[in-house]
Amino acid sequence: MTAYHQFLAAHPDYATTGALDDLRAAEYARLDAHGQVYLDYTGGGLHAASQVHEHAQMLSGQVLGNPHSASPSSIKMTQHVEQARAAVLAYFNGGGEYTAIFTLNASGALKLVGESFPFETRGKLLLTADNHNSVNGIREFARAKGVTTTYAPLTRPELRLDQATLDGFLSDADPAAANLFAFPAQSNFSGVKHPLDMVARAQSKGWHVLLDAAAFVPTNRLDLRVITPDFVVMSFYKMFGYPTGVGCLLVRNASLAALRRPWFGGGTVNFATAQGQMHVLSRGEAGFEDGTLNYLGIPAVAIGLRHLENVGIHTIQTRVNCLTDWLITQLLALRHSNDRPMVRLYGPANMVQRGATVTLNFYDPHGHLVDYRRIEELAGEEGISLRTGCFCNPGAGEMSEDLNEDDMRFGIGQIGAEINLLRFSQALQARGKSAGAIRVSTGIASNFADVERFMAFAARFKDQTALTIGAVTFDIESCRVVRDGG
Ligand SMILES: Cc1ncc(COP(=O)(O)O)c(C=O)c1O
């Protein structure tokens, strides 16, 4: 029996997702044409060829100008933007209850919440340790208004939220003050799906809830009639690859009034005077959409959502769950000849409440950590795209490796003023800890051959020492791998 047949026997649901193989052949043929294995869907989704084609046809067949004016080209463009807005609200079932604000990306949406939330000294900001840096950054807006940030810890090794501690923090708020609780629906580090019932629980205790749905919505349905966060953020390229440069903040209408914009700009005011130094902010989403929107890109959001609807999010979810389950089982079974495990997995080792993001590190037969950047380099040579580092989620990374404040200070002490991440991670390595990891994630166009190729690649490291595999660092500015000392 081939590995594929064994996989099918163990994951019979996979057979129900055969339409995705046809889809891959028709819409994502570039993957196989270039022999590429794409395993970075949590970094960015892939677009179907027809999305780009339909968008290009729309742009080349119409005269479209800057929206919000009375000219024919402007009226047409306004219609397209508003259709896309309606499509977003319909997709998430938020019509009537939510306002959709277009932003540059999820980070732009998070910044809007951070700068507009009415933090006050009696209020609180509660973040989960598992959060993207663009959520962590909100603490700086809170700090500026004298509000301290509390982090809810994770449990090891699953990296789930410690619910008892969280409940204690949630109960500790003054419901009469403005309190903000922010968490990701799905971790971009470990793939953990955090319980969405925390939204209603926190709200009942006097919190506004900000749900970071960026890593969740590419493979899961979010129904805003069922789960009703005050704020939801996402980036559309993560859902369907194209367009980049458009994200969204969905705000519950009842919570919109609580936000206070700290400035105004072009497009956000109904009235402004230079002489009188007064302005009147536009109502609804217009008051939050600074300057000129990415108006030509926004209609591609409606095209992408239609594509996702046609493919079916449930089918995608079924497929990536099967692939992830197989991948995890195979990775954990990898052993050196001396029976030591080759891989350390961060996060759940099963499919209970987790998505298609798998984070790991390789270890050699002596138990020494293999440089994750070197793994990325070697994977690249085989046409495999994966992601390494801390994925802008320092809290989950620190918890996964049990890195404490002392470790961080020790690591920083070793590098002094010079910011050299290689030295920093070597210092942590001396303490048996890692400052980064390897992330593999599947999505809409993934198939068994992709994960099988990754496993064949992973198996190569059997019995190899960390020294022979080598260490590298990546210079982000030149986009080049630089060897230690060179
Ligand atoms: C969970 C999560 N939140 C927020 C972001 C930020 O998204 P963007 O870089 O598109 O603003 C990301 C991106 O990786 C993410 O995975």
Q: How confident is the model at residue 375, as a pLDDT?
A: 96
Q: How confident is the model at residue 213, as a pLDDT?
A: 98
Q: Dump pLDDT digits (tens) for 453-483.
A: 999 999 999 999 999 998 876 565 565 666 6
To the query of whether residue 392 is one of the catalytic residues in this protein, the response is: yes
Query: 217 in ligand 1 pocket by Cβ < 6 Å?
Result: no
Residues facing 281 on adjacent strands: 269
Query: 322 in ligand 1 pocket by Cβ < 6 Å?
Result: no
Residue with tokens 């009537």: 96
Which ligand 1 atom is the nearest neighbour of the CA of 237?
10
Q: How confident is the model at residue 190, as a pLDDT?
A: 97
Confidence band (pLDDT; 50, 70, 90) for 485?
Answer: very low
In the reported structure, the alpha carbon of residue 387 is separated from the centroid of ligand 1 by a whole-number distance in angstroms of 14
Average pLDDT, rounded, for the chain: 94
Q: How confident is the model at residue 418, as a pLDDT?
A: 60
Which ligand 1 atom is the nearest neighbour of the CA of 216?
1
Q: Dump pLDDT digits (tens) for 284-326.
A: 999 999 999 999 999 999 999 999 999 999 999 999 999 999 9
**Mean pLDDT on 354-380:** 95
Q: How far apart are CA 242 and CA 136, in angstroms?
A: 26
In the reported structure, the alpha carbon of residue 107 is separated from the centroid of ligand 1 by a whole-number distance in angstroms of 6
In the reported structure, the alpha carbon of residue 431 is separated from the centroid of ligand 1 by a whole-number distance in angstroms of 30
Contacts of 386 by beta carbon, 8 Å cutoff, 6+ apart: 39, 40, 375, 376, 379, 438, 439, 440, 454
Q: Dump pLDDT digits (tens) for 429-447.
A: 777 788 789 999 999 999 9
Token pair of 439, please? 């992330």
Which ligand 1 atom is the nearest neighbour of the CA of 104?
11
Q: Dump pLDDT digits (tens) for 42-81.
A: 999 999 999 999 999 999 999 999 999 999 999 999 999 9
Query: 134 in ligand 1 pocket by Cβ < 6 Å?
Result: yes
Which ligand 1 atom is the nearest neighbour of the CA of 184?
1
Q: How confident is the model at residue 475, as a pLDDT?
A: 61
Q: Dump pLDDT digits (tens) for 147-182.
A: 999 999 999 999 999 999 999 999 999 999 999 999
Q: How confident is the model at residue 100, as a pLDDT?
A: 98
Confidence band (pLDDT; 50, 70, 90) for 486?
Answer: very low
Query: 107 in ligand 1 pocket by Cβ < 6 Å?
Result: yes
For residue 161, which of 185, 132, 137 has the smallest C-alpha distance?
Answer: 185
**Cα 32–33–36 angle (5° rounding)?**
50
For residue 85, which of 73, 75, 98, 72 has the smallest C-alpha distance?
Answer: 98
| Helix (H), strand (E) at residue 384 | strand 384-385
Confidence band (pLDDT; 50, 70, 90) for 408?
Answer: confident
Query: 130 in ligand 1 pocket by Cβ < 6 Å?
Result: no
In the reported structure, the alpha carbon of residue 211 is separated from the centroid of ligand 1 by a whole-number distance in angstroms of 12
